[in-house]
Amino acid sequence: MRGTIKHALLAGLTICLPLLSNSACADDAARIRALEEKLERSLTLIEALQRKVEALEAERQPVAAAPAVRVAPAAPLRTSAAPPLRGFADVVGAHRSGNHHDGSEGFAVGNLDLYLTPDLGGKVRSLVELVFEMEHDGESIAEIERAQIGYAFGDALTLWAGRYHYPFGYWNTAFHHGAQLQTAITRPRFLAFEDHGGILPMHGVGLWATGRLDAGDERLRYHAYMANAPSVNEEGVLDVHAAGRDGFRASTGLTLAWQPAAVRGLEVGLHGLRTRADLPDGSDSRIRMLGGFAAYLDGPVELIAEGYHFDNDNTTGAGSRESTAWFLQGAYAVGRVTPFVRLERTSLDDADPYFAALGGGRSYRRAAFGLRVDVTAAAALKLELAQLVVDEDSDRDERGNEAFVQYAIRF
């Protein structure tokens, strides 16, 4: 490379020399020698720089890709975050007429029903339901309606302990304190909660075993339970002794429900309850209830029927007293609108000390019809009209008309 550049420069000078005059040739020769020396030094510097660049390129090696680092996934963290809060709320308006007035009139705040199902891990189950409701004097009270802790051994058996709803019939098992759940505004009168005039304990505090047995498309559900026996207080209200009682007595019950494969949506069952209730006069009554129920819910159709037969015996020697109670409800949904009708009747022996001690222990007949409109899947507007006839004694009835409107939500 160096020789090539030098020869090219010399050739250029050779071409130029003949053009110069003879007088300038001596001076130009000296100048050319000086230029050749500078050119020699420049070429030496260029060669040195070229060698340095080649050395640097030889030293540079390809950079190997860094090995991938495998990061183990972090173990799931168990947090102390609270379980989601769910609930129900409603506002109701009531009007009554006739010579039987059973309850207040006007608008009122209904129940605020809050419930939690804490996830305790594994097969442990839990349910807590807290209800806020307004008393007749306008004061609000809070009551633990359900507080259950259980263990699921499998589909065939879950064992619960705590305060629960007695699982007799269909209504008290399917519908609780959230008004939005049920089609109608009211519960059947004789199945009202204890502090609203019911004739049976709706809650129990004790043990409850439940499960299902499947055989193909057939299914058998069962409930077996034992709880504190109730008592009737001076106000004629059943007390289920949520805090225990003086002198243990037990209520025991069994419910069997069959869901046949041949008729989708049908459930038929038998239920029974035995208990011993303390009465305000110091005596006690042995309560024996046996009955049956059926529910058919398929698509827009809702049919529910329940029957109860009582064979009670008071320890004072009053003898055995028999009574009956039943209701039938039907509904049919057309889009978001569901009209419904319900018939109820009780024939309670007024000589039975147990029913005589209860504020709601009177025979009655009630016919109701109404309309439910599902504004959304979580909100319902309802109307219910009813006629009530209460047998106050053997020769006197009290009649009343009732009208209710309710707006109920769940969240």
Residues 99 and 194 in one domain: yes
DSSP assigned state of 285: E
Angle at 110 between CA 108 and CA 116, to 5 degrees: 160
User: What type of residue is 117?
Assistant: T
Higher pLDDT, 289 or 9: 289
Q: What is the pLDDT of residue 22?
A: 47
pLDDT digit string, tens, across residues 305-329: 999 999 999 987 778 999 999 999 9
In whole angstroms, what is the distance from residue 47 CA to residue 39 CA? 12
Strands (E), 260-318: 266-278, 284-298, 301-314
The CATH number of the domain where 314 resides is what? 2.40.160.10
Whether 107 is covered by a domain: the verdict is yes
Q: What is the pLDDT of residue 28?
A: 53
Residues 30 and 150 in one domain: no
Q: What is the pLDDT of residue 15?
A: 43
| Residue 20, domain extent | 2-49
In whole angstroms, what is the distance from residue 272 CA to residue 286 CA? 13
Token pair recorded at residue 149: 């802790």
Inform me whether the pLDDT recorded for 396 exceeds 50.
yes
Domain count within the chain: 2
Sequence length of the chain is 411
In whole angstroms, what is the distance from residue 352 CA to residue 375 CA? 46
Residues 235 and 319 in one domain: yes
Whether 142 is covered by a domain: the verdict is yes
Token pair recorded at residue 122: 């594994």
Q: What is the pLDDT of residue 30?
A: 58
Contact 390, 90 (CB under 8 A): no
pLDDT classification of 68: cutoffs 50, 70, 90: very low
pLDDT classification of 54: cutoffs 50, 70, 90: low
pLDDT classification of 357: cutoffs 50, 70, 90: very high
Token pair recorded at residue 186: 């009211």
In whole angstroms, what is the distance from residue 53 CA to residue 59 CA? 10
Residues 127 and 40 in one domain: no
Whether 75 is covered by a domain: the verdict is no
Residues 227 and 296 in one domain: yes
Residues 305 and 248 in one domain: yes
DSSP assigned state of 334: B
The closest alpha carbon to 288, from 253, 317, 318, belongs to: 253
Token pair recorded at residue 215: 């055989």
Residues 41 and 121 in one domain: no
Number of neighbouring beta carbons within 10 Å of residue 46: 13
